[in-house]
Structure 1
Amino acid sequence: MSVNKLGKFAVIGLSAAWIAGCSTTATETDSSTVTEGAAELSEGDANADQAFGAGADGALTSVIVEDDVTAMDSLAGVETVFYFDFDKSIVRPESREALAKHAEFLVANPDARIVLEGHADERGTREYNMALGERRAKAISRYLTIQGVAASQIETVSFGEEVSVAFGHEDNAWQLNRRVEVRYEK
């Protein structure tokens, strides 16, 4: 058999396998049972965050689905940006209350992950500012681990002077750029 004919057979065979794999096996009974049961339960049910589906025997089943937004509500209004003094990587006392709330949330939610993004102002060399941003992020990380947060939940990264929030060459702008930002990963 020639290579050309073998290639045609391969294309036809793979196409047939792909078409067979894409076919659905849902029946009208499955979808109507789910729709009717969900409509009956959701009209007067206080638990609107449930998902419904048909079990193996066609019976209606429900599964509670946790909503990440409600879990994050406990952090509403909690600071996510922490500032540092010039050339320092020491956590300020006024930051500790907010960090304790982040630690409490992370301990209660072991699947939650955060990224600590360290920043510096424009003064100093690029290499020095990258190292300073890293030290600042690590200081916040150490504080959280002391509070009981697992190290596997925390990632640190330094942007040095590269990601400024305030553009200017005065103390106010520099102060806003000396920071660590807490970002929750989804």
Structure 2
Amino acid sequence: MNISAHQKAFAMVLSLGLVAGCSSTGDTMGEDEYGSDVQAVDQDGGSTVYGGSEDGGVSSTGLTDEEMREREERAEQEAMRNITTFYFDFDTAEIKPEAREVLVAHARYLESNPNQQVRLEGHGDERGTKEYNLALGERRANAVERFLIVNGASRGQLETVSYGEEKPAVMGSNESAWAQNRRVELVFE
């Protein structure tokens, strides 16, 4: 599964849609259209929020390139944080390279929100004994926990639990089903 490429593409489309949706058309709305003193677009083509005067509100024309990059980066981080399931190869607890960037986004979020709690639920596929799969699910959850801590999350924000093979995401006895069941899910509380 190529999480990184798909998620980057999704984040870019989301960012472009946000920028396109927020861009102005050059049309103005007068008082008589809505019965208020709010002016949606100023004379220079930038939009003004709250009021129509220069002394009140926030204008989009005042954003620097750096502020725009920061805004786009925040939108990309937000899109990456929507990914909360991380998959593993058969019989390993090694985090896949394509999951690392997304986990870093989660770690940064947790670092900047110290009261946020997250439960890391480790899972395995149906192959192997129940005991082995419980231990493997725990190793997977612990691997994600260590990665998050190294990248800024606090140990006190994280709880790990292993369900082994007991809560499959997909029913079936084939490689496709097994691949979807070998996972760690982040459950934010």
Q: Scaled by the length of structure 2, what TM-score is found?
A: 0.59
Q: CA RMSD in A?
A: 2.2
The answer for the alignment partner of 1:134 in structure 2 is 138
What is the aligned counterpart of 1:149 among 153, 175, 179?
Answer: 153
Asked if 1:90 corresponds to 2:97, the answer is no
Q: 1:30-72 CA deviation, whole Å, 9 max, x = no partner?
A: xxxxxxxxxxxxxx9x6xxxxxxxxxxxxxxxxxxxxxxxxxx
Q: Secondary structure at the match of 2:108?
A: helix
Q: Secondary structure at the match of 1:101?
A: helix
Q: Secondary structure at the match of 1:158?
A: strand
- Measured in 1, the distance between the counterparts of 2:165 and 2:77 equals 32
Q: Flag structure 2 segments of 5+ consecutive residues without an equivalent.
A: 1-37, 39-49, 51-75
Report the Cα offset of residue 75 of structure 1. 3.2
Q: Secondary structure at the match of 1:88?
A: coil
Q: Which has the higher strand share?
A: 1
Structure 1 runs, 4 residues or longer, greater than 4 Å off? none
What is the aligned counterpart of 1:75 among 65, 75, 78?
Answer: 78
- Measured in 1, the distance between the counterparts of 2:147 and 2:174 equals 30
How many aligned residue pairs are there?
A: 119
Q: Secondary structure at the match of 1:168?
A: coil
The answer for the alignment partner of 1:99 in structure 2 is 103
Bigger CA drift: 157-166 or 74-83? 74-83
- Measured in 2, the distance between the counterparts of 1:168 and 1:151 equals 35
What is the aligned counterpart of 2:187 among 178, 183, 186?
Answer: 183
- Measured in 2, the distance between the counterparts of 1:140 and 1:85 equals 14
The answer for the alignment partner of 1:8 in structure 2 is none
Q: Secondary structure at the match of 1:117?
A: strand
Report the Cα offset of residue 114 of structure 1. 0.4
Report the Cα offset of residue 77 of structure 1. 4.7
The answer for the alignment partner of 1:110 in structure 2 is 114
Q: Flag structure 1 segments of 5+ consecutive residues without an equivalent.
A: 1-43, 47-72
Indicate conservation of the 8 Å contact 1:75/1:102, yes or no.
Answer: no
- Measured in 1, the distance between the counterparts of 2:164 and 2:107 equals 25
